[in-house]
Amino acid sequence: MIRIFPRSIRARLTTVATLVAALVFITTSAITLAAVPGSLRTAVRTDLETAVGWVAEQARTGRLPAQLNTPSSLQLLQVVSPQGQVLAATPGRPLEPRLTTIRPRNPGVAHVTEHLLHHATDARHHHCMVMAMLVRTPEGPVTVYGAASLDRVNTVLGRLRALVFLGTPLILLGVAGVTWMIVGSALRPVERIRSVLAEISGKDLSRRVPVPDTGDEITDLAVTANTTLDRLERSAETQRRFVADASHELRSPISGLRTQLELAAAYPDETDWPAAGARALESVERLTGIVDELLMLARLDTGVAAERRVVDVCDLVREQVRRRAGGRVAIAAPPCPPAPVLGSPLQLDRLLTNLLDNATRHAAGRVEVVVEEDRDEVVITITDDGAGIAPEDRERIFERFVRLEEARALDKGGTGLGLPLSREIAVAHGGRLVLTDHRPGARFVVRLPLCPD
């Protein structure tokens, strides 16, 4: 495929600017060359007609002087009899022969032609516009002649043509050069940004592109690039920390399971196999829980959309309370009307499971779950009567693998993924999960968009 314009933005803009300038200059030059010559000749003819008309009026009234007062814009004025005798003329040239052989027949009508006339004072020939007009006088008809030099007009037109045909290419070259320099100067920050971005690798995301102080779109581009690099650096750091924490959390149950199996294999006769199997099963269940939560977090992080349908949150809460009946902590769930939301039943059930597990783990003896509608939202409130969480830790508990000292003391097998996963699920469903003030204990509030009928 043939390219009309070059690939480089700098070259393309220079080409376009030069073509536009060429179109403007060519159009303007054509209009100028077409209009200026006629305008200049019209001005000369107007002066000539004025002077000839003035002399003709003097001759008509019989007040014709021997020497005619000639304007500086004219070369010569003459009044000639029908016999060819010069009756009056411009001072200093009274004996000139008639300017032209034109003999107009209609009185008062001007006849115009152009001639080369010899000027005695400077021995030069002048290109002149010559006008003749027949006038009736008391002594008989006479012919008034006038001559205006076109040398100045020709000089102006010559300079104009030279300016057009020689100056236009020079101007276009100047436009191209200035455009090339201006565009190059404007794109120089882009080149610096590109070179820095080319040097940034996944191993070192701490570098940032230079931000020019021009305040234009390139500044916005640099700021956006640095913002993106900030997000990438945070994401990479979160991923590295996530992998390190996941490896650490998985190492403990795997090491415990391996130790148990190695001891059982080393002393088979002294091993209580049912107890060893139960302990191994607990370790496997903990591993399964960690892996399931990691997989769900990974899906949420990558934006994989789960199958969604209308889910009644009240049904999910009732099922959770039914499964936990008879436990250490009493769970109270007041009756609630249908609260439909559009979401994944599996993920919403995991959200409630994690929040209720956390509440029952910290509660002294009672947990309350309330579901209600607030305008266009379904609000789920889970309150326990435990020791509560310090204000400075209320956001930390939603970070992955973060476990407070109290949580570690209450449950050594926790993963630190339950609350972060719950918040991710709420956000993925267009809602939010927060920890609000409550005494005693803690209160988690989930807000999800209400699904209309």
State how far the Cα of 406 lies from the Cα of 358, in Å rounded to an integer: 12
pLDDT at 245: 65
Q: What is the pLDDT of residue 97?
A: 63
289 versus 90: which is more confidently predicted? 90
The more confident residue out of 93 and 396 is 396
Query: Mean pLDDT of all residues in the chain?
Result: 82
pLDDT digits (tens, 9 = 90+) for 403-436: 676 655 555 555 677 888 889 889 988 999 999 8
CATH 1.10.260.40 fits 217-299, yes or no: no
State the Cα–Cα distance between residues 263 and 254, nearest whole angstrom.
14
* Alpha-carbon gap, residue 49 to 65, rounded angstroms: 19
Look at residue 377 in the predicted model and tell me its pLDDT: 92
pLDDT at 303 > cutoff 70: no
pLDDT beyond 90 at 447: yes
pLDDT for res 119: 59
* Between 332 and 237, residue with greater pLDDT: 332
Predicted local confidence at residue 302, as pLDDT: 63
CB 102 within 8 A of CB 85: no
DSSP-derived secondary structure for 251-292 = HHHHHHHHHHHHHHHHSTTT--HHHHHHHHHHHHHHHHHHHH
Write down the pLDDT at residue 55. 87
* Contact in structure between 85 and 140 (CB atoms under 8 Å): no
Q: Which two tokens stand for residue 376?
A: 């266009």
Q: Residue 384 pLDDT > 80, yes or no?
A: yes
Query: Pick from 293, 280, 206, 300: which is nearest to 245 by CA?
Result: 293
Q: Decide if 388 contacts 441 (C-beta within 8 A).
A: yes
Please give the Cα distance from 235 to 241 (Å, whole number): 10
**pLDDT for 129 beyond 50:** yes
Looking at beta carbons, which pairs linking 305-310 to residues 24 or more positions away fall under 8 Å? 306/344, 306/346, 306/347, 307/344, 308/342, 308/343, 308/344, 309/342, 309/343, 309/345, 310/340, 310/341, 310/342, 310/451
What residue spans in the chain does CATH classification 3.30.565.10 cover?
A: 305-449
- CA–CA distance, 60 with 137 (Å, rounded to integer): 5
Q: What is the pLDDT of residue 369?
A: 93
Give the whole-number percent of the chain exceeding pLDDT 70. Answer: 87
Q: Quick one: how far is CA 221 from the chain centroid?
A: 8
Q: How far apart are CA 361 and CA 211, in angstroms?
A: 51
Helix (H, G, I), strand (E, B) or coil at 30: helix
Q: How confident is the model at residue 409, as a pLDDT?
A: 56
Please provide the DSSP assignment of 306-330 as one string: PP-EEEEHHHHHHHHHHHTTTSSSE
Cα–Cα distances in Å, from 406 out to 402, 414, 423? Answer: 12, 12, 21
The confidence score (pLDDT) of residue 380 equals 93
Q: Burial, 404: exposed, middle or buried (Cβ in 10 Å; 0-12, 13-18, 19+)?
A: middle
pLDDT band, very low/low/confident/very high, at 1 (cuts 50, 70, 90): very low
Classify residue 186 by burial, with Cβ atoms within 10 Å: 0-12, 13-18, 19+: middle
Residue 284 has pLDDT above 60, yes or no: yes
pLDDT-wise least confident of 233-247, 268-282, 352-366, 412-426: 233-247
The answer to whether residue 4 scores a pLDDT higher than 80 is: no
Q: What residues does CATH 1.10.287.130 cover in the chain?
A: 217-299
pTM: 0.50
Mean pLDDT value across residues 168-180:
90
Longest dimension (CA), the chain: 162
Q: Which residues contact 440 (CB under 8 A, 6 or more apart)?
A: 364, 385, 386, 387, 388
Whether the upstream peptide bond of residue 141 has omega within 30° of 0, thus cis, is: no
Mean pLDDT, to the nearest integer, of 214-229?
85
Residues 57-82 have a mean pLDDT of 82
The class (CATH top level) of 305-449 is alpha beta
Q: Which is more confidently placed, 171 or 121?
A: 171
Distance from C-alpha of 393 to C-alpha of 397, rounded to nearest angstrom: 6
